[in-house]
Amino acid sequence: MATSKTPKLPPRWVMRSFWRSHRRLYVLTGGRKGLRVQRPGHEGLMRLTTTGRHSGHSRSVMLSYLADGPDLCVVALNGVAAPDPAWLLNLRAQPEAVADLAGTGGRGRPVLAREVEGPERERLWARWLELDPHLDAYAAQRPGRTAVVVLQPR
């Protein structure tokens, strides 16, 4: 009988270093590298700029996304760390943000964020599972429920 093992992630310091390098690549190339359009079997990569909930300053993060019609869907795993990611906390305080997508010539797309629940959350979570079959195992390593966020054009 096969047993399912929890997938291993790299240590947190490795993941944080990768995230910082990814943001740096985007900035150093003027946005020419670091983003990816979603294609069949692969999520897209975007840069999301939020407003800091305490500072009021712009904060940017690189995130994977799924297109859902005109909306973008993101999952707030925070590398399976216990706290919710800062970008999610910022969106809860100020849901207006800007999403930079590949192929837009550096023009940010204004979006309005909302966390989803119920059937909509289940439908989007199932779509993410098609791309990453380990998503449930990653989410199970977190103490609470992982937020699913929809970014609607505004």
Buried b (16+ CB within 10 A) or exposed e, 41-78: eebbbbbbbbbeeeeeeeebbbbbbbebeebbbbbbbb
Radius of gyration of the chain (CA): 15
Does position 27 have pLDDT exceeding 50, yes or no? yes
pLDDT band at 3; cut points 50, 70, 90: very low
Residue 2 lies in a domain: no
Residue 58 lies in a domain: yes
Residue 5 lies in a domain: no
Per-residue model confidence as pLDDT tens digits over 54-89: 999 999 999 999 999 999 999 998 877 778 999 999
- For position 20, what pLDDT does the model report? 80
Residue 3 lies in a domain: no
Note the pTM of the prediction, 2 decimals.
Answer: 0.86
Residue 7 lies in a domain: no
pLDDT band at 5; cut points 50, 70, 90: low
Residue 32 lies in a domain: yes
Does position 19 have pLDDT exceeding 80, yes or no? no
Higher pLDDT, 154 or 25: 154
Residue 4 lies in a domain: no
CATH of the domain at 69: 2.30.110.10
Structurally, how many domains does the chain consist of?
1
- The residue segments making up the domain with residue 118 are 12-153
